Chains A and B, each alone.
Chain A
Amino acid sequence: MKLSRTIRLSLHILAAHKLRTLLSVVGGVVGVASVILMVAVGRSAEASVLARIRAMGTDMLMISAAPPRLVAGRERQGEIVASLLPADVSVLRDECAGIVRAAGAFDKSMVARHDSSNVTTTVQGLAPEGLVIRGFALETGRFHDDDDERTRRRVAVIGPVVAVNLFGGRDPVGLPIRLGTVPFEVIGVTSARGADANGVDQDNVILVPLETALRRLFNVPHLRTIYLQAQDSAMLARVEADVRELLRARRRLGDGQVDTFKILNQATLLDSQRQTARFLTLLIGSVATIALLVGGVGILAVMTMSVRERTREVGLRRALGARRRDILVQFLLEATILAGLGGLVGASLGLLGSALVGASWSVAVSWPTVVTAFCTAVVVGLLFGIYPAHRAATLAPVAALRAE
């Protein structure tokens, strides 16, 4: 029997029994589409997490005053939290070779008012260099500068969420705002940037000059955070070590004593986030793989039923001179065509779905996954086609012809 003729005949039979064909293809379609889509979604999430962290700067270090420690079941605060000082900023900038920028910050949750509206948001005093380190961009207006800092001007740059909540659709630049009881003037609105790596909304924030915040708003002499920018991300680990040594020396911490501050390394954060995202991709990928297997079982079920339904056809073909292997080849071929068809349609749907899910689909779609999913579908179809094909081929022609 010529293969091309067999293929033509198989295609013809599949086309003639559209519902049966459709039913057997559906499993493969769903399986392949879900694998591609799920992996794309996972990779999209991974890519967006990484993009978010990169936007914050992969060359950034954050020093925070250590959180309260538990001693004998009680929180001990006091001098530990107050230990991070504005003086540390200039010392770090001057004495640490790898550091290009450094900025102190202090933030606190406050109520902001304009006219009759008020919102609770995070007010952060941030030195102008900090705006650069953290990569804020402006939608309208201007940032506060060294001049504002020196004269402790009461000016505020607000995040887009705050702008909407307090001012509705109006342009807030030049309008008055009260932080607690202190009057400020809005000078700028930052561009939307979403949540940071810790899930904190960076758009729901009010940025004011650090000196203004410390002296006129919070009345504290210390900082909560210092942002540092290294020359490049490769130097981050060395800079971190230098910073630690310097701060420990300034605090006169002995060898046995623990740090009274905490250094957050953006690269470390990036790594752990990447791992989480990978794990997520793997997880949903395996769920989708199960879907693919279920699709294969679907093919098995439909093929088995189809063989039963087509017993007389098998008998007829045997009577007309088909050998066992002709029947076997025919059913395997049909299974492969079905699986391949399912794989193709599934891949198209998966790609389409991925394109719809993320505008950044070129990042998300993993071509190895598409190829693997398609090949898996075909192999599963072929494997699961073997059993019914074998059953069909070994039927006794006489019995098959008389089957009802």
Chain B
Amino acid sequence: MIELVDVTRRYQKGSITTDVLKGVSFRVAAGEYVAIMGASGTGKSTLMNILGALDQPTSGHYRLDGQDIAGMDDDALSALRNRKIGFVFQQFHLLERTSAVTNVLLPLIYRDEEMPDAEARSIRALEAVGLGDRKHYSPGELSGGQQQRVAIARALITDPALLLADEPTGNLDARSGADVLALFGKLNDGGRTIVLVTHDRAVAEHARRIIVLADGRVVADHPVERRRDAAEAVAAAAAGTQGDAATPP
């Protein structure tokens, strides 16, 4: 499904070169739920950009669903992002003053084929994240958790091979964060491959496997022994305790 072989990424700013990734290799099989962890400055974001085909490795190989992205041109990368990857961002990145339905169907407008059922698909995706009754609300009229669920619906509308989430709970309160993680758990139970990038161990422990980055290298890669139960977290957050966010790593 995902295969990284000795991926490096070097940034050149004037005469200063920085090696952010120094040879990262791992595989993720279809249906896995992986958290990539690391403090800031460890190359986490760079890795996430490469996994999302937003950026190219300086050397090494990245194969996604059988396709090697090294050497792809910009248009091919765009098409790959459109068909294979669903993004969920920390800041939601929804279009302001635009209804949830329109936000969700946005990826479909970048396809060449006719999509007469785009709106119906968008509504189905919103229903799948529990927002069927909010489909005509604009982001300003939705809570943070609801906005992130709209973003998840948008990521899912193309039925991507990989759901890639970058600190999806970073801008949310404990309750909404737990909701979002519960949704991820449910999606993974349904067979969806998820890669979640976070600095927060409590969030990472909702996944089935954790890859830890430090200084541009993988320093740990292990299954989660005691997986956190999102439903419990939701209940805990609802009961007024701080839940996940306050749990020490």
CB <8 Å contact, A2 and B97: no
- Is there a chain A Cβ closer than 8 Å to B109's Cβ? yes
- In whole Å, how far is A265's beta carbon from the nearest beta carbon of chain B? 68
Measured between C-beta atoms, what is the minimum distance from B236 to chain A in Å? Answer: 32
> Are B78 and A318 interface neighbours, CB within 8 A?
yes
Return chain B residues, CB-CB under 8 Å to A321.
78-79, 81-83, 107, 110-111
Contacting pair B109 A16 (CB below 8 A): no
A326 touches B110 (CB 8 A): yes
Whether A401 contacts B109 in the complex (CB less than 8 A), given A319-B54, A321-B78, comes out as no
> Is A323 part of the contact surface with B, judged by Cβ < 8 Å?
yes
Alpha-carbon gap, A324 to B96, bound state (A): 22
B74 at interface (Cβ–Cβ under 8 A)? yes
Contact of A16 among B93, B96, B107, B111 (CB under 8 A): B96
- Binary flags per residue of B78-121, CB closer than 8 Å to A gives 1, else 0: 11011100010101010111100010001101111010000000
Do residues A319 and B114 form an inter-chain contact, with CB atoms below 8 A?
no
| B25 interfacial by beta-carbon distance below 8 Å | no
Q: How many whole Å from B41's CB to the nearest CB in chain A?
A: 15
In angstroms, Cα B153 to Cα A249, docked, is 103
Query: What DSSP secondary structure best describes chain A's contact surface?
Result: helix
Check if B82 sits within 8 Å of A320, measured CB to CB: yes
**A276-335 at interface with B (beta carbon < 8 Å):** 312-313, 315-324, 326
A252 within 8 A of B: no
B188-225 Cβ-contact flags toward A at 8 Å (1 or 0): 00000000000000000000000000000000000000
Complex Cα distance, B83 from A321, in Å, reads 8
Tell me which of B52, B54, B75, B114 contacts A2 (CB under 8 A).
Answer: B114
B109 contacts A6, CB within 8 Å? yes
- Pick from A16, A313, A323: contact of B110, CB under 8 Å: A323
**A residues near B97, Cβ cutoff 8 Å:** 16-17
Tell whether A397 is near chain B: CB-to-CB under 8 Å. Answer: yes
Asked whether any CB of chain B lies closer than 8 Å to the CB of A13, the reply is yes
Q: What total of chain B residues lie within 8 Å of the partner, measured CB to CB?
A: 28
Q: Does B49 contact A (CB under 8 A)?
A: yes
| Chain A count of residues within 8 A CB distance of the other chain | 25
**Which residue of B49, B74, B107 is within 8 Å of A320 (Cβ)?**
B107
CA of A312 to CA of B93, assembled, Å:
8
Q: Is A319's CB under 8 angstroms from B52's CB?
A: yes
Q: Which residue of A lies closest to B55 (CB)?
A: A398
Contact present for B106 and A317 (CB under 8 Å): yes
Within 8 Å CB of A12, what residues of B?
98, 102
Residues of A within 8 A of B112 (CB): 1-2
A391 to chain B, nearest CB (A): 16
Q: A319 with B110: in contact, given A397-B54, A398-B49, A398-B55 (CB under 8 Å)?
A: no
A9 interface hit (Cβ, 8 Å):
yes
Q: Digitize B49-70: 1 where CB-to-A-CB distance is under 8 Å, 0 elsewhere.
A: 1001011000000000000000
CB of A272, distance to nearest CB on chain B (Å): 60
Docked Cα-Cα span, A203 to B91, in Å, equals: 77
Interface pair A398/B110, CB less than 8 Å apart: no
- Interface assignment of A74: CB less than 8 Å from any CB of chain B: no
The distance in angstroms between the C-alpha atoms of A296 and B110, with both chains bound, is 30
Residues on B with beta carbons closer than 8 Å to the beta carbon of A315:
93
Beyond A1-B112, A316-B93, A398-B54, is A322–B78 a contact (Cβ under 8 Å)?
Answer: yes
Interface residues of B in 116-163 (CB under 8 A from A): 154
For chain B, residues 4 to 57, give those with C-beta under 8 angstroms from any C-beta of chain A. Answer: 49, 52, 54-55
**Can you list, as one digit per residue, whether each of B216-249 has a CB less than 8 Å from chain A (1) or not (0)?**
0000000000000000000000000000000000
Determine whether A5 belongs to the interface, using a CB cutoff of 8 Å to chain B. yes
- B contact residues around A322 at 8 Å (CB): 78, 110
User: Smallest distance from the beta carbon of A62 to chain B beta carbons, Å?
Assistant: 71
Q: Mark A1-22, 1 if CB is under 8 A from B, else 0.
A: 1100110010011001100000
Known: A12-B98, A312-B93. A5 touches B78 (CB 8 A): no
Contact B75 A1 (CB under 8 A): no
Taking beta carbons and an 8 Å cutoff, which residues of A are in contact with B? 1-2, 5-6, 9, 12-13, 16-17, 312-313, 315-324, 326, 397-398, 401
**CB-defined A-B contacts under 8 Å, sample of 21:** A1-B111, A2-B112, A6-B109, A12-B98, A12-B102, A13-B95, A313-B95, A316-B93, A316-B106, A318-B78, A320-B107, A320-B154, A321-B81, A321-B82, A321-B107, A322-B78, A322-B110, A323-B74, A323-B79, A397-B54, A398-B55
> Chain B: residues with CB nearer than 8 A to chain A?
49, 52, 54-55, 74-75, 78-79, 81-83, 87, 89, 91, 93, 95-98, 102, 106-107, 109-112, 114, 154
| Extra pairs beyond A313-B95, A401-B89 (17, CB < 8 Å) | A1-B110, A1-B111, A2-B109, A2-B112, A9-B109, A12-B98, A13-B95, A16-B98, A318-B54, A319-B81, A320-B87, A320-B106, A321-B78, A322-B78, A323-B75, A326-B110, A401-B93
